[in-house]
Amino acid sequence: MSVHVHVCTVIEATLSVTWSAIERVETHVDWMADAEAIRFTSDTHQGVGTEFECVTRIGPARLVDTMSITEWRPEEAMGVSHRGVVKGAGRFVLAGVDSTHTRFCWDEHLDLPWWMGGAIAERAALPVLTRLWRGNLARLKLLVEKHA
C-alpha cells in the first residue's frame, strides 16, 4: 500500500536564500498546512541523524509521524525517513534555475498501514496529498520570496 507524490515549484530566490528557509526543520510548520508541531527527540536539530516527531493532521486524521533526517546537503537536498505508523521516505531537492531562481521539488514515497484503507485509501490519498503539498509549496514560495 504505497503512495508516491512529486510536486515542484520555482521560487524567485537564490539557492542560499531558499535553503535558509528550510534548514531549520522546526519552521516547516510555518508553511506545511498538515504539520501542526515538531518536537525534536535528538540533541541535534540539523543534519543527518536528527530525529523528531511531527504532529500531522490531514482532515480528521491526526497522527504523530516519527522521522529522521537521512540526507543533508546544504542548498541541494534534504531527505527524511518516516518510521511511525506511516513509513517511507521524503526528499526536498533544490536546483538553481538561474542566479535568482530556485527549482524546489518534493518527493514522498509513503507506505500506508492496511487499517487506513488499503488500495482504496491509496487511490484517494494521491490527489489529496498532491493538492495539499502543492499548497505547501505555494506557501513556502510566498514565505521565501517575501524575505528574499
31-79 pLDDT, tens digit each:
999 999 999 999 999 999 999 999 999 888 788 999 999 999 999 999 9
Cβ-count burial 46-79 (b if 16+ within 10 Å, e if not): eeeebbbebebeeeeeeeebbbbbebbeebeebb
Report the chain's mean pLDDT, rounded to a whole number.
Answer: 93
Give 101-123 pLDDT, tens digit per residue.
Answer: 999 999 999 987 777 666 666 77
Find the range with the poorest average confidence among 12-26, 66-80, 120-134.
120-134
- Please identify which residue in the block is written with the cell numbers 520570496: 145
> Could you give the domains of the chain?
2-32+72-147 (3.30.530.20)
Instruction: Look up the pTM and report it.
Output: 0.92
Q: Give residue 118's pLDDT.
A: 62
